Amino acid sequence: MKKPFFITTPIYYVNDKPHIGHAYTTILADVFARYYRKKGAPTLFLTGLDEHGQKVQEAAKEKGLSPMEHCNKMVPQFTNLWDKLHISNDDFIRTTEPRHKKVVQMILNKVFESGDIYEAEYEGLYSVSEERFITEKEFETGQFRDIKKLKEKNYFFKMSKYQERLIQHIKENPKFIQPNHRKNEILGFLRKPLNDLCISRPKSRLNWGVELPFNSEYVTYVWFDALINYISAPGYDEDHGVSKDWWPASHHLIGKDILTTHAVYWPTMLMSAGIDLPESIFAHGWWLMGDSKMSKSIGNVVDPINLIDDYGVDPVRYYLMREMVLGQDANFTIELFKSRYNSDLANDFGNLLSRVTTLINKNFSGKIPNPGDLDTSEINIKNDSISLCLSFDELMKNMRLNEAIELVIRFISGVNKYMEQNAPWKLVKEDKRAAGKVLYTAGEALRISALLLSPVMPNRTKTLLDILDAFDSNQKWGGLKPGTQLNDHAPLFPRIK
């Protein structure tokens, strides 16, 4: 049996509706989930919502709703968008669900029993927006808002106890934190002594959270609660630990701003609870609008719904996956979106399909011609397709999705050149069999390209395969059946003006 593949997105805060950044991570996870499913690996793709904490409590208050009412109202904002984006998640977790809260309490008990939770009086500077105490140094940076002096009794998790073990783990497992520069960032952070983590909030200040099992006057710090979704969803119990079907997770996909919580808090929590660490934490960059950060106050937040309505879901998925070098920031502008769409999808991919089908319809009564024996240029394309499939897999294994997509487009563009060199529209008048060979070859190249790109653009590639009447999902050359009648179609990727 193939190794199971378990991929997660961050669980999103329900204080606001989702934007293009949330859509990006979720599509990214979806592409990998679809890819591994296609390879025959048992796959669990998990996403969901982070519903506790101060931010949510405040957002609810502003609307005059109870936190639970507010959360219930926000859920469709996310699930409807995921439907619209054709997200194929297998599970959707909400941290207010009993199945989750139960596991948070089990883990708290377990960590408590390991002697890793202690009570202490703490006086310090508290940032309301960050929902945590900040250090003097952090205060001096001026980056924190809503700060007040606070003295409180709280519960602390002995994170510092696991510092050395964590450093060791990161060094011994080069893929644990990806990409490399993020790993170095964490190793740099771990060069300084690690503080313990305050994991409780007194109910007098915040009551929207999971109650501590050992003191009902407190709720759990929202991050300690939220991270546990990665094991509460696949299933955890005290006797068997996390479900062996899925754990350890293959990838936690996250944005670069939540790296410390995932690469420091989460692994030390797991160590204390005696649970294996995930295989990898992958931090992607941010979508910038032009050169600036996307923010509500600037008013440049891109709503994915409008984009899908205007251009269709597959082009949006394609653009987001193609444009961002995984791990780096990327720029979002409508101009870039349109020019990428026109050059890759309309002029290359779509154009090749319409050339092939038009010529087959006109000269071969719409039936896929017989390739006969392959000549050198056909053998070259066949060989290119074989090496394309191998390189594609290699790149996907290494999370280099944008390069994998680029390879397919380069292959398609090569086939377009081959069409021009052989000009089947002229050739058909002199040597119909030779023209048939060219059209078969281009059609087969389209079939293989569509199969490779299907995790990125599940709908349009399916349409393409339907047009070719190609139901064989084998990427081996020769899947297109001569004599098959083509199905009618509208242009697959009409040019955007």
Residues that bind ligand MSP (CB under 6 A): 10-13, 21-22, 24-25, 50, 226-227, 229, 254-255, 257-258, 286-287, 294
Burial degree of 375 (CB within 10 A; 0-12, 13-18, 19+): middle
Least distance CB 207 / ligand MSP (angstroms): 19
Q: How far is the CB of 284 from ligand MSP (least distance, A)?
A: 7
CB 337 to ligand MSP: min, Å: 15
CB of 18 within 8 A of CB of 12?
yes
* Closest approach of ligand MSP to the CB of residue 300, in Å: 10
Residue 11 CB, nearest distance to ligand MSP (Å)?
5
Nearest residue to the partner ligand MSP, using Cβ: 255
Minimum CB distance to ligand MSP smaller for 52 or for 460: 52
Nearer to ligand MSP, 10 or 267 (CB): 10
Question: Quick one: 489 exposed, middle or buried, by C-beta within 10 A (0-12, 13-18, 19+)?
Answer: middle
Q: What's the closest the beta carbon of residue 222 comes to ligand MSP, in angstroms? A: 8
Q: Which is nearer to ligand MSP, 214 or 286 (CB)?
A: 286
Nearest residue (CB) to ligand MSP, 11 versus 408: 11
Nearer to ligand MSP, 10 or 371 (CB): 10
Comparison of 320 and 360: residue with beta carbon closer to ligand MSP: 320
CB of 275 to ligand MSP, least distance (A): 15
Of residues 10 and 424, the one with the C-beta less far from ligand MSP: 10
Q: Give whichever of 222 and 464 is closer to ligand MSP, judged by the CB atom.
A: 222
Q: How far is the CB of 25 from ligand MSP (least distance, A)?
A: 6
Is the Cβ of residue 227 or residue 442 nearer to ligand MSP in the bound state? Answer: 227
| Distance of closest approach, residue 15 Cβ to ligand MSP, in angstroms | 8
